[in-house]
Structure 1
Amino acid sequence: MTKETSEALQRSVKDHWYVKYEEVGFPSIQKGWILPVDRWKDFDPFILMAEDWFKRGTFSDHPHRGFQTITYVVDGRLEHIDNAGGRDILEPGDVQYMNAGWAARHAEEGVGDDIAHTLQLWLNLPKHLKQTETSYQNIYSEDAPVVSIEGGSVKVFSGDIAGVKGPMNSIVPITLTEITLSEGAQYVHRLPETHNSFFYVLSGDMTFGENKVELKKHGVGTLTYNDEGNEKNISEFVIKANSRRSKVLVYSGTPIKEEIVPYGPFVMNTMEEIKQAYRDYHNGKFGPAAR
């Protein structure tokens, strides 16, 4: 181990839990909160993350303002439709990034009789970026660079990780990495020491961090970080697989440190701004419905 590596901040698991699921009314099927919204201050810049199983008609035309979404398709097919004329179908392993900005209006639908299984993360926008133009970006699984490591692979959707850069163009830069390991394999994931970070176990059984916390499928963990550090300094997060086909998603980003009001489909800094978003939507300023 080099001197540079040995002096890097060694990340530990700060908190961890398993997602609890509930059945919901058709055409939605099941929902779980990976990141519950009432803890957004702990997760900053992330607000919430939901895991959903649903059929067509669950997330039809609806508005958003003031934040970004990152949707990872676990299974099934997801059709994206927006009122700017965008339409596409995402398949397992694909990711969609949306900057809702000042006025997004879109639909997220299961395709045909498919049950879409997705993970949707809400990523905050700082106050000065909440009125930016709405934009969408699809990142297909095969377009994300993959780095082969001993006993596994690292797929990079966003950020500079493992010597490659992910294709996601997030207004608020983050990292998103999918790490797959075989039984007994170990990998050291490197992140800026100032990034707040969490992970979600997609499959298998893995041990995480300097304090060696073991989590299986549906396990979530947050990591220690250096809030007063230097974003150019790299930290290390050790991951070890205890079973075959272990897979985890790791997210990280710089905290924004602003008070927010997450309310319905909007995330603003004050309740008055939330009320204005509803007025703007009802007055047609978000444009026509997504069809």
Structure 2
Amino acid sequence: MAKEHSNEQIFQRHVKDHWYVKYDEANFPLIQKGWVLPIERWRDFDPFILMAEDWFKRGAFADHPHRGFQTITYVIDGRLEHIDNGGGRDILEPGDMQYMNAGWSARHAEEAVDPGIAHTLQLWLNLPKDLKNTETKYQNVYAEDAPTVSFEGGSVRVFSGDIAGVTGPLASVVPITMAEISLEKGTSYTHQLPENHNAFFYVLSGDIDFGEDIVNLKKHGVGTLTYQENGDEDNQSEFVMTSNHRRSRVLVYSGVPIKEEIVPYGPFVMNTMDEIKQAYRDFHNGKFGPPAV
């Protein structure tokens, strides 16, 4: 049933597009990779750029630079060691998430912990051009520190944004929402998001019907949602999901589109190719600092 807001019905979202991730074997120490959000479609996902799902051993993502965007890395399985050249070092486990604002110059490593295999989702989140020179920042959000709201037949864990009456701990430079929803078989849940947020979801496990039009997706399924491009941040929208499996889990992300042209190239995301070339020059000239070891 629709709810009332400012004498108008709340916007009901539908699944706009959906697909299943295709995976490719990779050369060791990478093992397998799939593009959850393929980079060539970044305009459809704005403010998100890409999402990669990776299985890897130690050495796959050793010391490397970034500039001009943010990353949100969710650990599905295994253990992930973060090392940065500012002295940061930590190990994340399944259900944990790490945020990085590369800003002006990040240099870090993301490694599987020997002798294991790390299985992660890494989302790239754009920075508007006036924030691409911001200070580098890292933030870990451990699963137990993200507030969880339980309901009959399920729960929602909130990593970022205001959802289900709680606020997630992630403090990203560009505000987003990120939630992990767990559902038992037969359970329906209505997820609310600001109506002007572009949003997508990824099914981690199970079998779920999404939206009133009933788009069914199972594990490895991805969907984008309709939204109000000129909507109000203070107005909520909603979409319903129903689990057909005893143990379904889905991640949902949303953010306001930035609406700027970008050039994603290698480890950098800038607004022009000249800025990409400058980033490479700065890295080779040592402006990103010492290696992350």
Query: How would you bin the TM-score normalised by the shorter chain?
Result: over 0.9
Mapping of 1:54-133 within 5 angstroms? 54-133=56-135
Q: Distance in 2 between matches of 1:271 and 1:196?
A: 26
2:168 paired with 1:171: no
Structure 2 residue aligned with 1:242: 244
Following TM superposition, by how much is the alpha carbon of 1:210 offset from its aligned partner in structure 2, in angstroms? 2.3
Q: Distance in 1 between matches of 2:3 and 2:72?
A: 36
2:22 paired with 1:46: no
2:249 paired with 1:231: no
Q: Cα RMSD between the aligned structures?
A: 0.9
Q: Distance in 2 between matches of 1:155 and 1:186?
A: 16
SS of the counterpart of 1:281?
Answer: helix
SS of the counterpart of 2:283?
Answer: helix
Task: Count residues in correspondence.
Answer: 291
Query: Is the 8 Å Cα contact of residues 2 and 10 (structure 2) preserved in structure 1?
Result: no
Q: Which runs of 5+ in 1 are unaligned?
A: none
Q: Distance in 1 between matches of 2:98 and 2:3?
A: 39
Q: Distance in 2 between matches of 1:271 and 1:197?
A: 28
Structure 2 residue aligned with 1:213: 215
Q: Distance in 2 between matches of 1:66 and 1:276?
A: 12
Following TM superposition, by how much is the alpha carbon of 1:2 offset from its aligned partner in structure 2, in angstroms? 6.5
Q: Deviations over 1:8-65 (max 9, x none)?
A: 1110000000000000000100000000000000000000000000000000000000
> In the superposition, relative to structure 1, how do residues 221 and 10 fare at CA in structure 2: closer, same or farther (>3 Å)?
same
Structure 2 residue aligned with 1:264: 266
Q: Distance in 2 between matches of 1:178 and 1:144?
A: 10
Report the TM-score, using the length of structure 2 for normalisation: 0.98
Structure 2 residue aligned with 1:162: 164
Following TM superposition, by how much is the alpha carbon of 1:88 offset from its aligned partner in structure 2, in angstroms? 0.2
Query: Is the 8 Å Cα contact of residues 13 and 210 (structure 1) preserved in structure 2?
Result: no
Partner AA of 1:142 in structure 2: E
SS of the counterpart of 1:180?
Answer: strand
Q: Which deviates further from its counterpart, 98-107 or 226-235? A: 226-235
SS of the counterpart of 2:276?
Answer: helix
Query: Is the 8 Å Cα contact of residues 201 and 249 (structure 1) preserved in structure 2?
Result: yes
Structure 2 residue aligned with 1:9: 11
Q: Distance in 2 between matches of 1:68 and 1:149?
A: 32
Report the TM-score, using the length of structure 1 for normalisation: 0.99
Of 36, 39, 44, which residue of structure 2 is paired with 1:37?
39
Q: Which deviates further from its counterpart, 1-10 or 109-118? A: 1-10
Partner AA of 2:145 in structure 1: D
Structure 1 residue aligned with 2:153: 151
Following TM superposition, by how much is the alpha carbon of 1:229 offset from its aligned partner in structure 2, in angstroms? 1.2
Ranges of 4+ aligned residues in structure 1 off by more than 2 Å: none
Following TM superposition, by how much is the alpha carbon of 1:144 offset from its aligned partner in structure 2, in angstroms? 0.3
Structure 1 residue aligned with 2:277: 275
Following TM superposition, by how much is the alpha carbon of 1:209 offset from its aligned partner in structure 2, in angstroms? 1.2
Of 12, 26, 29, which residue of structure 2 is paired with 1:27?
29
2:143 paired with 1:141: yes
Q: Distance in 2 between matches of 1:216 and 1:31?
A: 19
